[in-house]
Every structure is written in structure tokens, then in C-alpha cells.
Amino acid sequence: MSNSLDAYLILSGILFSIGTFGFLARRNAISMLMSIELMLNAVNLTIIAFAAFGAFGATAEGVSRGSVIALMVISVAAAEATVGLAIIIAIYRNRRTPLVDEYDAMRQ
Amino acid sequence: MFRVLVPILIAMAILGVVTGIAALMIVVLGQDWEDALLWILSAVMIGSALLVVTMRDIIRCGLAMIVCFGALAGIYVILGAPLIGAAQVIVYIGAISVLILFAIMLTQTKDAPRVLVFQTQSAAAAVASIIIAVVIALAVTATDWGELSRHLRLDTNVLSAELFTDPGNLLPFEVIGVLLLAAVIGGVFLAKREPGGPP
């Protein structure tokens, strides 16, 4: 099983759908952010699996080409988490609630 | 005392069952260590990811997310990319999880509603995410990816040569640096308390 690409892809598909469920179903803004992190990790696992099984070229250079993309995704995810949490804290300071369905100032 | 011991006993029972299944797989089915480790790490990862999206107490969700990221780092190591696993541990467990735990502690008030952690559309969301998982699984199994029969290993020397000497990677590398700087400044600016504003 550890030498079949399908196993890793199905695993990351399951992780991605769990993240989708969390993003759609949770009311807390930070829970939604954690679900986004789960989905980003699923995508990263897909990239690494494809790279390890030779989708970017069946050499060591091909594997490292894919891994560079994964490293970039990790650093972009770090930036995204920073700004997202800062936005949530700024909204929380004004509205005094972390629940997204009470952020309705732009609807009125 | 008993109430404290129950979760620990449940966790040890689950761990024992998983380890027993893995030992059975090695002994009876004749699979190798990598397969057994992959099964264990996959079970831990999926289980803790489910805990992240379903548990009621959000700080426990954050701790379960750390377990999920750790298991995923182990899966990277099994895939032959230990450098990516190390980056996962450093960035996700060391930085992002701690950041999220801090944000949880800053935004959870005592009178926050402990019920109604789910939106009203959570049943529809569950159906939609199960459909997504099934569609992905069908697409993966039905497609011939033309992959290798066993996975390659990531060579860190080749990766560093690729990352630091290939001119095609120069622009993304610098852009990532500028993006991280902008994220730091923007985060500080957004979360800064304004003088005279609400506390």
C-alpha cells in the first residue's frame, strides 16, 4: 500500500473533504480557519505524493521540483494563517463574538 | 479520579487496537513495516481530523489539529521526503498551531455559547463533503496516472541545489520573502489595539 499512488491520493481526498465539512459546518471563525489548514495540508500531501511517484520527472531533480512547490505552499499557508487570525482578532475586538453568523454588519 | 482516567484508558485502548492490527498485518499478511506504519499514521490522521471538525471544545480542536499535523509529517517521511516532514513539524506544529492556540485563547470568552457549535446547514455540509470524498476516490481509482511502481526518495542536496541555484526558482523565493514580511506587518497592524478604541 505504501507503494501505490492511489492510496495517498484517496487519503488526501478524505482529509480534504473533512476540511470542507468543517469549513461549511462550524460556526466559530477559528474553527473555519483550522479547517482551511486541513485542506491546505491535503493539497500538500497530493503534491508530495505526485512528486514522489515521478509526475514531475522520474529523477531526483523531478522529486525536488515537486517538493519546492510544497515548501512554497507551506510558507504561503503560514502567511495566510497570520493575516487570517489577525483579521479574526480585529473583528472580535469590535463585535465581541467569534461566531461568523453574527458578523452581519455589511448586510444592514 | 476515575473521570480523569477514562479518556486515557480509551486512548490507550484505541492505540492498542491499532498496534495490534498493524502487528497482525505484519505477521499474518506478510506486509512490511512501511505499510503497517502508513496504516497507523493514516488512522491517527483521519481520526484526529474528524475530532478537529466535530469536537465541541475549541481548544481541544486545536490540540487534535497538532496530532493531525504530526501524523501527516510521519506520512511525508514514509513517502521518502523527510525534509518536508521536518518543515511540516517546524512550520505547522511549531508556528501555525501555536498561533491558532493563542488566537483561541484571545477570542474565547466565558459566556461564549458552548452549544450550537455547528451551523444549521451542517447535515447538508456532511452530505456534500461525503460526495466530494467519493468523487475524488472514484476519479483517482479510475485514472491511470502513469506513476512509478515504487516511490522515489527526496534528496536534500538536489533539493537545495534546485531551490537556490535554479534561476526559475529565484523570483518565487523572493516573492515568498516579501509576502512573509507583508504578512508580519499586516498582522501586527490589524491586531494592534488603537488608542481610545475598544479594548
Contact indicator for A27, B117 with CB cutoff of 8 Å: yes
**Could you tell me if A101 lies within 8 Å of chain B, comparing CB atoms?**
yes
Contact indicator for B114, B56 with CB cutoff of 8 Å: yes
- CATH number of the domain located at residue range(s) B1-108 in this protein: 1.20.120.1200
Q: Mean pLDDT throughout B126-135?
A: 94
CA distance B52 to A41: 14
Q: Mean pLDDT throughout B70-99?
A: 93
Which positions ≥6 away from B104 have C-beta within 8 Å? A30, B58, B59, B62
Closest residue on chain B to A80 (Cα): B183
Q: What's residue B116's pLDDT?
A: 62
- With 60 as the cut, is the pLDDT of residue B93 above it? yes
Closest residue on chain B to A75 (Cα): B176
Contact indicator for B64, B48 with CB cutoff of 8 Å: yes
For residue A98, the 8-state DSSP code is -
Residue B14 half-sphere exposure toward CB, CA atoms < 13 A: 11
Q: Do B147 and A55 touch (CB under 8 A)?
A: yes
**Contact residues on chain A for B108, CB-CB shorter than 8 A:** 98
Q: Do B136 and A16 touch (CB under 8 A)?
A: yes
CA distance B27 to B36: 11
How many CB atoms are closer than 10 A to CB B182?
13
- With 70 as the cut, is the pLDDT of residue B75 above it? yes
- With 60 as the cut, is the pLDDT of residue B115 above it? no
How many CB atoms are closer than 10 A to CB B115?
6
Gyration radius from chain B CA atoms:
22
**Contact residues on chain A for B75, CB-CB shorter than 8 A:** 8, 11, 45
Per residue in B4-29, pLDDT tens? 777 778 777 877 887 787 777 777 77
Split at pLDDT 50, 70, 90, the class of B151 is: confident
Q: Do B183 and A51 touch (CB under 8 A)?
A: no
Q: Mean pLDDT throughout B50-57?
A: 86
Of A33, A25, A44, A30, residue with least CA distance to B128: A25
Per residue in A41-52, pLDDT tens? 999 999 999 999
Query: Looking at per-residue confidence, does B166 or B128 come out higher?
Result: B128
**Contact residues on chain B for A104, CB-CB shorter than 8 A:** none
CA distance A81 to B94: 13
Residues paired with residue B36 on neighbouring β-strands, in sequence order: none
CA distance B98 to A85: 12
Q: Mean pLDDT throughout B48-61?
A: 88
CA distance A66 to B100: 28
Split at pLDDT 50, 70, 90, the class of B112 is: low
**Residue B84, burial from CB neighbour count under 10 angstroms (0-12, 13-18, 19+):** buried
ipTM confidence: 0.92
Specify the amino acid at residue B110: K
Considering CB atoms only, which of B53, B106, B198 is closest to A89?
A: B106
CA distance A66 to A54: 9
Q: Mean pLDDT throughout B98-127?
A: 79
**Structural domains in chain A plus CATH codes:** 5-107 (1.10.287.3510)
Q: What's residue B114's pLDDT?
A: 54
**Could you tell me if A91 lies within 8 Å of chain B, comparing CB atoms?**
no
Of A107, A105, A35, residue with least CA distance to A77: A35
| Cell representation of residue B112 | 461564549
Residues 20-79 of A with CB under 8 A from B: 20-22, 24-31, 33-35, 37-38, 41, 44-45, 48-55, 58-65, 67-68, 70-72, 74-79
**How far apart are the CA of A95 and the nearest CA of chain B, in angstroms?**
10
Q: What's residue A37's pLDDT?
A: 93
Mutate to test the interface with B, among A23, A33, A53, A100 (most CBs of B within 10 A): A53
